[in-house]
A and B are shown apart, each in its own frame.
Chain A
Amino acid sequence: MASFDELMLPHLPSAYNLAHWILRNQHDAEDAVQEAYLQAYRAFARFSGQNGRAWILTIVRNACYGRLRRQKGTPAIEAFDEMTHSLDALAADESVLAERIREADGAKQLELALEALPPPWREMIVLHDLEGLSYREIAVIADVPIGTVMSRLSRARARLQNDLRARLAPPKSAAEAKT
């Protein structure tokens, strides 16, 4: 099998992007990624050779959530109310919103709206829509059933778009303006 460096360093951009989205700042993301790569190196003998990207991202994700747990001292993911596996039906034409986020202010609001999502939802959008992983791969990385990936992603998208629409709507008054 190829060396650790050859197999795992190419995934560093994905690893760092994921860590930054979960931890929301450069310093913590760099620390978490370094910690993850060290753990991965030590565990390399146990790597089966299949799907290195999913393997390293699992370790990175765990390192990030470990960090969040230590920072708050309380569960990083509060009792997350997972409703039954129902999917949010597509209801509105999303191309209007798509146009808005191509503009500068829309892109900024998108970033804020993504950051505002609870981590278990945010990571679904990052892993699927930004990193292009499959439902099956995400199920492995996040350690949940595929049905959960499907419903969380569906819910995350709905929440993201609703939040974004609210942020982009013209403010009714100064008091109601979104931060």
Chain B
Amino acid sequence: MNCEETRQWLGAHRDGELDLVSAAEVDQHLQRCADCTALARGRDTWTRALATAAPRYAPSENLQRNIEAMIARESRRENRRPVASRSIWQIFVGVTALAAMLVLGFELGARHEQAALFSRDLISRHTLAMNSDHLTEVVSSDRHTVKPWLAQHLDFSPPVVDLAVDGFPLNGARIENVGTTSIAALVYHRHAHVITVYVWPRGALGLPATEILRGFHVQPWQQGEWNFVAISDVAGGELSDFAEKLRRSIGAERL
């Protein structure tokens, strides 16, 4: 290895990130080259100085307390089961589902619970986006604007269609972060209502449960390589109708 090559690898070498063979070659060069060794020492000096001189921003005590309080609230909310707000039918379904879960075993029950929690999470995101004025990050009814924007910000390019002709105009899109996975959220309008369609590649994350909660319908489905979830407070029949039109439109375009 000559000086030129060594100096290209020196950064990674000082970071301890070179593979054994390359590291050994750099070591050998450094043993016989005073100039490169001086550069290596200079880099080490710089790295130490940087770690000391650069500001390190520390969280306030308030922040930790607020986070702990928030987690405590969230945990209470998950555990709360207000029986009074449920109909007899929902209780019956709930009990039957519970019995089924016990029969099928804990493993399945855990997955079911996860799917149900995921539904609730997506509903929260839907309502939060509407109420906080952060409904969209790209505002456009043109799929030739929305699709590339999503492709730029995600590592996948979901199908995007406008259903204005059918009375469901596309409003735009945003990105939601579910744990470490980023998913697309397409925003449609239906009269005064908002429909969010979450889309992501099938392997990345499982589907949430089909659910009706506090007037919001959650309708998940798989199509091709994609997972879709439509969420809205429009009447259930309308959401199914929308989902059907979306399926057909996407299928037709072979996106």
Binding site for B on A (CB under 8 A): 4-5, 9, 12-13, 15-17, 20-21, 26, 29-30, 33-34, 37-43, 45-47, 55, 58-59, 62-63, 66, 69-70, 73, 75, 87-95, 97-99, 101-102, 106-107, 110-111, 114, 125, 128-130, 134-135, 143, 150, 153-154, 157, 161
Contact = CB atoms under 8 A, between A and B. Distances in A.
Contacts, number: 161
Give the top 10 A-B pairs by smallest Cβ distance, nearest first. Answer: A43-B179, A94-B46, A20-B57, A98-B49, A16-B59, A89-B7, A95-B45, A94-B42, A93-B42, A62-B177
Contact size class for B? 35 or more
Nearest to B134: A70
B58 A13 contact: yes
A153 B153 contact: no
- The A interface is mostly helix, strand or loop, or mixed, namely helix
Contact of A90 (B10, B17, B52, B121): B10
Interface of B: 4, 7-12, 15, 17, 38-43, 45-60, 63-64, 66-68, 70-71, 74, 114, 117, 121, 134, 137, 139, 149, 152-153, 155, 174-175, 177-180, 182
17 contacts: A9-B67, A17-B57, A66-B177, A75-B149, A87-B8, A88-B11, A89-B10, A93-B42, A97-B49, A98-B42, A106-B53, A107-B53, A110-B53, A110-B54, A130-B56, A135-B17, A154-B11
B42 A95 contact: yes
A129 B49 CA distance: 10
B59 A12 contact: yes
Nearest to B182: A62
Contacts of B139: 73
B17 A150 contact: yes
Contact of B51 (A21, A111, A129, A154): A129
A42 B205 CA distance: 14
Given A17-B57, A58-B180, A70-B137, A102 B7 contact: no
